[in-house]
Amino acid sequence: VKSYDAKKLKSSLRESSAEIVLFGAGDVGKLAHLALSRCDVRVSCFCDGRADKLGTAYCGIPVRHPDVLHSTSRDAIVFVCNNYLTSVVSQLEQLGFVNIHHCGPLLAESDFSEGDAGMSLNEIKRKIVWHQEECRKVENSSTDALVLKYVDVVVTEACSMKCIDCANLMQYYSAPKHVNLELLMSTLERLMGCVDRLCEARVLGGEPFMYKSLHHVVEWLTFHESIEKVILYTNATIVPQGKTLSSLKHPKVIVDITNYGSLSRKMESMVDILRSQGIAFLTKIPSWTDSGRIRYRERSEEDLIATFNNCCVNDVLTLLHGRLYRCPFSANGTNLQAIPYDPADVVDLTDPQKDGADLRREVMDLYSVDKAPLTACSYCNGRDYSTPRVEAGRQTKLPLPVLPYSQ
């Protein structure tokens, strides 16, 4: 899969009689379909293994199971429209497909400002950047640059809600702590000292607006020239005010609000204040997979690799209490001492023995496309298209018990 000239590709597709398949019936697929149909390129079908998508039509096009590819002509042109690029491309290559494209240049060349994609422009831009960065990461996996798509910067273990299926495992914290500000700033400094570019610093908890020193963190992140966007994830239960609110008035900031209906009790006032202050935000209705339980699962090596490779958060680096982890589940599960500490899955940014070069090498290894499955993956249900859905936002009164991992 190589980069391509979108204009040339679209004109050759118009003249081609080959079938065009979009692999991934999600937001990237929707944008790719829009970009192609605007220039009269006819798509045959979407391909997607999610049970809720099968047998349906998406953007007016049938959604078929990936098994259909076995009987599809190998001349077909397949666009990978999700961010599981490595595993989907290898699956397609094994089947003998040769015309495989990602959507990076196609989306970059298209104008989505008309509002016909059913998403806000902020949302569209983020989806495109995520996909492009995934493509770039796969294409340039052998270069020396250290460019990270996202880092979750956890500021607190506390949340104003206690969702029983929280994929970040907040339901297990019985005595949640805030992150020490000094430690957070010094480890952010060390991390960004060895990273060339970070597309999104995502500030979250728990609920980040419970963290009194939040403005210091946001100001530091927005000031850092190698950080492109700063996203705050909130459940709309606490309206930011004072210095926190002021820190959000920055062109790099987007507030990402999950709308839990009546549980997001400050939704209206939060939207009003952000709008009145000119702060960019987006709202979304949550759709969850069953990924919020820590339990050892006996998996073969092959299953473990598939669980890791197909996971939608398998490269969401997470900074928690001075350590950098490969994903939020690994971070919180290790922090809760519910899964074993595995030094191969963690970069300890507090270690005074390590200099900048050591840390850079370790972060590169942690983020590598060739990273082996995490120890945490054996304790996790996984987060891919086949993971069953659960109702989002169900609350628990009491924290769930944490079992020591030997049990």
Note whether 247 and 219 are within 8 A (CB). yes
Note whether 400 and 171 are within 8 A (CB). yes
Indicate the residue among 265 and 354 with the shorter CB distance to ligand SF4.
265
**Cα(first)–Cα(last) distance of the chain, in Å?**
44
The pair of structure tokens assigned to 234 is 């909130």
- The region of 58-66, 134-142, 157-165, 295-303 touching ligand SF4 under the rule CB under 6 A is 157-165
Report which residue type is found at 32.
A
| Residue carrying the six token digits 């480890």 | 187
Q: Is the dihedral of CA 235, 203, 130, 168 positive or negative?
A: negative
Task: Provide, rounded to whole angstroms, the least separation between the CB of residue 372 and ligand SF4.
Answer: 11
Cα–Cα distances in Å, from 269 out to 204, 264, 274? 20, 10, 9
367 class by beta-carbon count within 10 Å (0-12 exposed, 13-18 middle, 19+ buried): buried
Cα–Cα distances in Å, from 144 out to 211, 344, 365, 379? 36, 20, 12, 32
C-alpha 219: how far from chain center: 23
Task: Provide, rounded to whole angstroms, the least separation between the CB of residue 164 and ligand SF4.
Answer: 9
- The region of 36-44, 57-65, 80-88, 326-334 touching ligand SF4 under the rule CB under 6 A is 326-334
Binding status of residue 313 toward ligand SF4 by CB under 6 A: yes
Residues between 364 and 383 that touch ligand SF4 (CB under 6 A): 374, 376-377, 380, 382-383
Task: Provide, rounded to whole angstroms, the least separation between the CB of residue 112 and ligand SF4.
Answer: 28
Binding status of residue 82 toward ligand SF4 by CB under 6 A: no
Buried b (16+ CB within 10 A) or exposed e, 24-57: bbbbbbbbbbbbbeeeebebbbbbbbbeebeeee
- The region of 76-84, 192-200, 224-232, 327-335 touching ligand SF4 under the rule CB under 6 A is 327-335
Q: Report the distance separating Cα 4 and Cα 310, nearest Å.
A: 25
Cα–Cα distances in Å, from 121 out to 116, 118, 146, 185, 232? 10, 9, 28, 32, 17
Choice from 47, 170, 231, 239 touching ligand SF4 (CB under 6 A): 170
Residues between 213 and 242 that touch ligand SF4 (CB under 6 A): 235
Task: Provide, rounded to whole angstroms, the least separation between the CB of residue 214 and ligand SF4.
Answer: 15
| Residue carrying the six token digits 């052998």 | 142
Task: Provide, rounded to whole angstroms, the least separation between the CB of residue 40 and ligand SF4.
Answer: 40
Phi then psi dihedrals of residue 73, to 5 deg: -60, 135
Phi then psi dihedrals of residue 234, to 5 deg: -135, 155
Residues between 383 and 402 that touch ligand SF4 (CB under 6 A): 383
- Give the residue among 373, 369, 370, 367 at the shortest CA–CA distance from 195: 367
The pair of structure tokens assigned to 58 is 């998406």
Binding status of residue 210 toward ligand SF4 by CB under 6 A: no
Choice from 163, 198, 324, 349 touching ligand SF4 (CB under 6 A): 163
- Give the residue among 19, 21, 89, 80 at the shortest CA–CA distance from 369: 89
The count of residues interacting with ligand SF4 (CB under 6 A) is 25
Indicate the residue among 222 and 309 with the shorter CB distance to ligand SF4.
309
Binding status of residue 307 toward ligand SF4 by CB under 6 A: yes
- The region of 26-34, 48-56, 70-78, 205-213 touching ligand SF4 under the rule CB under 6 A is 205-213
Choice from 329, 367, 385, 405 touching ligand SF4 (CB under 6 A): 329
Indicate the residue among 299 and 354 with the shorter CB distance to ligand SF4.
299
Task: Provide, rounded to whole angstroms, the least separation between the CB of residue 327 and ligand SF4.
Answer: 3
Choice from 1, 43, 63, 166 touching ligand SF4 (CB under 6 A): 166
Q: Report the distance separating Cα 220 and Cα 233, nearest Å.
A: 17
Choice from 49, 206, 208, 322 touching ligand SF4 (CB under 6 A): 206
Choice from 311, 346, 366, 400 touching ligand SF4 (CB under 6 A): 311
Binding site for ligand SF4 (CB under 6 A): 159, 161-163, 166, 168, 170, 205-207, 235, 307-308, 311, 313-314, 327, 329-330, 374, 376-377, 380, 382-383
